[in-house]
Structure 1
Amino acid sequence: MANSNTEHSKKLRAKTAAAYNKKALEEGKVKAISLRLDADLATEFDAVLSELASTRPQGIKKLCEIYRNLKKD
């Protein structure tokens, strides 16, 4: 088994990622949001985001761009 696939390596990568994300939050580089939606609305929201982009953050960004462009008119 390659070293990168050992449990120890996986835990180290997870720990590194958690530290990076925590630091980014503390420095204000990123923000975490949580939504509590009706199940049907959440499903529709996920579907819309999936149609707009390959990730949720990219989908939300695209949704904001669409909104801003509509608001200009």
Structure 2
Amino acid sequence: MANAMTEHSKKLRAKTANEYNKKMREQGKIRTILLRLDSNLADRLDNVLNELGESRPTGIKALLDFYDKHK
């Protein structure tokens, strides 16, 4: 097994990512939000994002950019 795929490496990457995210939250650079959506709406969102090859944060940014442009 490649070194990058060992359980130790996976845990180390997760720990590093968690530390980075904590630091960014503490600095006010990122926020975590929780959305509770109707299942059909969430499925529609995920289907569009999958079709476009985009992530949820990128999709939300695109919606906000579209709104700003057309208000």
Q: TM-score, normalised by structure 1?
A: 0.80
1:16 correspondence with 2:7: no
Task: State which structure, 1 or 2, has the greater radius of gyration over its C-alpha atoms.
Answer: 1
Unaligned runs of 5+ in 1: none
Alignment partner, residue 2 of structure 1:
2
Unaligned runs of 5+ in 2: none
Aligned AA (2:54)? S
Q: TM-score, normalised by structure 2?
A: 0.81
Aligned AA (1:19)? E
Alignment partner, residue 56 of structure 1:
56
What is the correspondence of 1:12-51 to structure 2 with a 5 Å cutoff? 12-51=12-51
Q: 1:65 to 1:51 in 2, by over 3 A?
A: farther
> Shift of the alpha carbon at 1:50?
4.0
The count of corresponding residues between Structure 1 and Structure 2 is 71
RMSD: 1.8
Identical residues among aligned pairs (%):
59
